Amino acid sequence: MSVDECPIDCDSCVKWPCPELNHAPADPTEIDRLRALEIELKRLLVVEEAYRESIIDTASLRTKVAELTKERDHWKANHNDLKNRLAFLRQRPDLPVDRIPVYEQLVKERDALVREVNVQRARAELFETDKHHKAQQEAARDCFIIMFDAASYAEGFEEIKAKYHLEDV
């Protein structure tokens, strides 16, 4: 017997999908609890569907943001090239305007030279830092050797003061 074929049409009878459970009188509080659970389940399904849609929307927005960022970077690069070309033309008003490819080549060479100078400057700073670090290591090693020689503690201290120009405290 299906749920729709119930011979008893009453509110105290719960119509279950399982035929064995149909026509079993149910407690009114149990029916209210089941209806509340059904309402909660529907609410959770709506929330889950909204969450899935938001995930899909987020993924599509991320791809759109990536595309727009790429386009923005392209326009920015072109803008920087135009600014460099204009700055170069302002510096050299004696050059004719019909030689734009030559200007572009000169701007690229100038930018390459600027990058090379920056690289050399960074290498020099690194070398100076490394030299300073090695000098500090040597000073620390000398201090360790001299200070922990029990036989010449006082002489070692005087040597360190003389070598590194330390004053009495």
- Of 28, 6, 29, give the one whose Cα is nearest residue 17: 6
82, 86, 63: which is closest to 74 by C-alpha? 82
Look over the chain and give the mean of its residue pLDDT values, rounded to a whole number.
73
pLDDT of residue 3: 46
Q: End-to-end distance of the chain based on CA atoms, in angstroms? A: 105
pLDDT at site 157: 65
Residue 111 has a pLDDT of 85
12 token code pair: 């105290």
